[in-house]
Structure 1
Amino acid sequence: MAKEKIVLAYSGGLDTSVILKWLKETYDAEIIAFTADIGQKDELDGLEEKALATGASKIYIDDLRAEFAKDFINPMFQAGALYEGQYLLGTSIARPLIAKRMVEIARAEGATAIAHGATGKGNDQVRFELTAAALAPELSVIAPWRLEQFREEFPGRAEMIAYAEKHNIPVTASAAKPYSTDRNLLHISFESGMLEDPWFDAAADDNKGMYVLSVAPEDAPDQAEYIELEFAAGDCVAINGTKLSPLEVMETLNEIGGKHGIGRVDMVENRFVGMKSRGVYETPGGTILFTAHRKMESLTMDRDVMHLRDSLITKYASLVYNGFWFAPERLAIQALVSESQKNVSGTVRLKLYKGNVMGAGVKSPVSLYNPDIATMEADPTKAYDQGDATGFIRLNALRLKVGSGVEQNAKK
């Protein structure tokens, strides 16, 4: 009989390399490795040879960068999503795309299960598996780190390294970088190791080498740089007058932002599984795009529509962070967001300087700002009669006066 097929999310690192071999032996299965190219750069070098040498029967290395930018990053930025006021969700938003493609490969290959190397303490296990549940409920999910047999065999990193050496698995394990990283088109994250101490200063001079996408703000150019971002229906479509695809927008902004030390975040966040964790993030291009998009909305978006959308930001960000990208409630909010973005079009000018992104101008052919109405001088349009504010204030004050009167009477 043909062996069972398992599709494994494979990065080529120590964990997934060991898991690949372990799955093959434990389940006597055919392992199909899958790596999503979502902007890891040179981290993808040599992956095909490494996966096949470790025991994979086949490996898919799919370039998903354009889809990631267009169908995942852009919709999320239109929603203004920001988790706990700081995190631009760089890792969170990548997981549903990876899991979606895993499901497609599993069905094409006739696999019965997918597997991942996410730990039982993290968020990624939830994100992978909720996506699989939404898109392919018939598939089984194997999470080795949650299996007692696997944890007994590999209680620590030393045992995994020994296993790799025993089976001639080509991995590089080193204490030179005592933390873990995750990189994609939107950001790079750093966690665990020395970063588990929240008092540890990741930005100290002797730790500057940790960062990848950005220079330290104090080392950024002494001359400010101005850039212009053009938007159409909520998406950035050009930078400094050059039309660009969503992928090119992110690549260009990452380069510009990194040069100016933009987008570093060091935070303690609340994981979905219940614990707090410390994460350090670099999101240079995303920080610029997020700021520019908000400024474009300020000029072109109806007040109550904006406030309604803003009231959903916390919920939307939590849905992304917790892995509910394909849940009906996220899709419903996205429909409202898409409607809100129809007129978010125009140009934003920004000033970039030593880690800061500052507004330097905004214009739009569909601007809702009318200087004749907003002016402190005489209003030539006669659209606003200042005397009307008397009745407006009186009516809004009515309930406050009534409430205050009730409280005063109660004290008598």
Structure 2
Amino acid sequence: MAKGDVKKAVLAYSGGLDTSVIVPWLRENYGCEVICFCADLGQAEELEGLEEKALASGASKLIVRDLREEFMRDYILPTLQAGAIYERKYLLGTSFARPIIARHQVLIAEEEGADAVCHGATGKGNDQVRFELTFFALNPRLKIIAPWREWSIKSRQDALDYAAEYNVPVTATAEKIYSRDRNLWHLSHEGGILEDPWNEPEEDMFQISVSPENAPDTPEELTITFVKGVPTAVNGQELGLVPLMDELNRIGGKHGIGRIDLVENRLVGMKSHGVYETPGGTLLYIAHRELESIVLDKETMRAKDRIAIDYADLVYNGRWFTPIREHYDAFVRSTQENMTGEVRFKLYKGNAIVIGRRSPFSLYREDLATFGPDMVYNQKDAEAFIRLYGLSMKVQAFLK
């Protein structure tokens, strides 16, 4: 691609170190107009002063869209309901944020008459794949610019030096140079001392959760209500999706819930070490799983568990806009029809202890499970069942 071919580019802009230096770099190397786009996914105070910074860096405008409701409804909830967890721990907070950003980036490019889209993902990470597969799926005619695969900047220190040269204000420093991604669902931390997986994260790195040691000494009870698989209330108070997520983050963060230290396998073939804070998301995953335990039959739960692994992989690997994800969603939605009920927790120093679950559609029958006398289950019937169930084992034993 000849650099002069680009007239106008839409940059996925966070105001962090990488995207801040991309603005002057695009103008210098492509000579194109740069429109910065920021998706409000719940970054809170990170949005403050963003327009001034973007314009001062050389952008022609900054477009901010509040996508928090869409993010919760169309990306977080399907992944939660699928039970998707990547490599046993990761609740996919960055993974499903990229397709919604890239989708609106494409929409803005079409609205603004831009001929290119640009992202600040490095050539070593997963995000480059997530952005670009979305671009391919939604508008393959747009040119894609990935500065980390082109420029001479090879490290975060190089980026800091470039920012200083072009007077671009950034908050990162050589001492505290974590790469962070924050949204309504989580806050991730990479880089810096975390590049050595033996190092314990510094406590001042954490921003939305306290350490379990510093959490309250008194347990707190919490109840989450679901209607057809959708969380609708906290402690009996009905809330919209966004305020509900904020409330669960507040409560979970206060008790040190949802801190994850993970070495994960990146799509590009290397391992990486990250630390994640997902207080509200952790509570929702546990609550949803516990409600499923009394509502879903055994075969459906097993089928969901098998799909959950594949679903997590496709989300992590950037394949959100694919037919297979839509097919999985159709199955998962059908399993949520009776997922109405409540789950009760006791929160204490990093632990989310489930102490109750109930549903009008519960398949749990106390009259069947009781150890007392009952008129429903004849225990003598178990003998014939066991004989048939173990028949193949007896046959094999006779051969010995």
TM-score, normalising length: structure 2: 0.95
**Stretch of structure 1 that moved more, 173-182 or 73-82:** 173-182
Determine the C-alpha separation between the residues in 2 that align with 1:365 and 1:387: 31
Which residue of the other structure, out of 67, 70, 73, is the alignment partner of 1:67?
A: 70
Q: Secondary structure at the match of 1:376?
A: coil
**Stretch of structure 1 that moved more, 87-96 or 164-173:** 164-173
Determine the C-alpha separation between the residues in 2 that align with 1:2 and 1:329: 35
Which residue matches 2:141?
Answer: 138
Q: Secondary structure at the match of 2:303?
A: helix
Which residue matches 2:184?
Answer: 185
Which residue matches 2:43?
Answer: 40
Which residue matches 2:379?
Answer: 386
Mapped pair 1:365 → 2:360? yes
Structure 1 segments, 4+ long, off by >4 Å, are 403-406
Q: Secondary structure at the match of 2:188?
A: strand
Which residue of the other structure, out of 269, 278, 281, is the alignment partner of 1:283?
A: 278
Determine the C-alpha separation between the residues in 2 that align with 1:159 and 1:63: 32
Which residue matches 1:111?
Answer: 114
Gaps of 5+ in 2: none
Mapped pair 1:241 → 2:236? yes
Determine the C-alpha separation between the residues in 1 that align with 2:6 and 2:96: 33
Shift in Å, 1:404: 4.6
Determine the C-alpha separation between the residues in 2 that align with 1:294 and 1:226: 18
Shift in Å, 1:13: 1.9
AA aligned to 1:194 is I
Shift in Å, 1:37: 0.9
Shift in Å, 1:146: 1.3
Determine the C-alpha separation between the residues in 1 that align with 2:5 and 2:323: 37
Which residue of the other structure, out of 243, 254, 263, is the alignment partner of 1:259?
A: 254
CA contact (8 A) 1:300 1:367 kept: yes
Determine the C-alpha separation between the residues in 2 that align with 1:320 and 1:98: 14
Determine the C-alpha separation between the residues in 1 that align with 2:303 and 2:170: 50
CA contact (8 A) 1:70 1:247 kept: no
Mapped pair 1:98 → 2:101? yes
- Listed one character per residue, the Cα deviations across residues 229-266 of structure 1 (whole Å, up to 9, x for unaligned) are 11101111011111111111110000000110111010
Determine the C-alpha separation between the residues in 1 that align with 2:49 and 2:115: 28
Shift in Å, 1:136: 1.6
CA contact (8 A) 2:6 2:30 kept: no
Which residue matches 1:24?
Answer: 27
Q: When the two structures are aligned, how many residues end up with a matched partner?
A: 397
Give runs of aligned pairs for residues 186-205 of structure 1, distance below 5 A. Answer: 186-202=185-201
AA aligned to 2:286 is T
Which residue matches 1:170?
Answer: 169
Identity of aligned residues (%): 56
Q: Secondary structure at the match of 1:182?
A: strand
Mapped pair 1:229 → 2:224? yes
CA contact (8 A) 2:172 2:178 kept: no
AA aligned to 1:388 is D
Q: Secondary structure at the match of 2:94?
A: helix
Which residue of the other structure, out of 263, 278, 281, is the alignment partner of 1:268?
A: 263
AA aligned to 2:269 is G
Q: CA RMSD in A?
A: 1.7
Determine the C-alpha separation between the residues in 2 that align with 1:8 and 1:292: 38
Determine the C-alpha separation between the residues in 1 that align with 2:177 and 2:381: 65
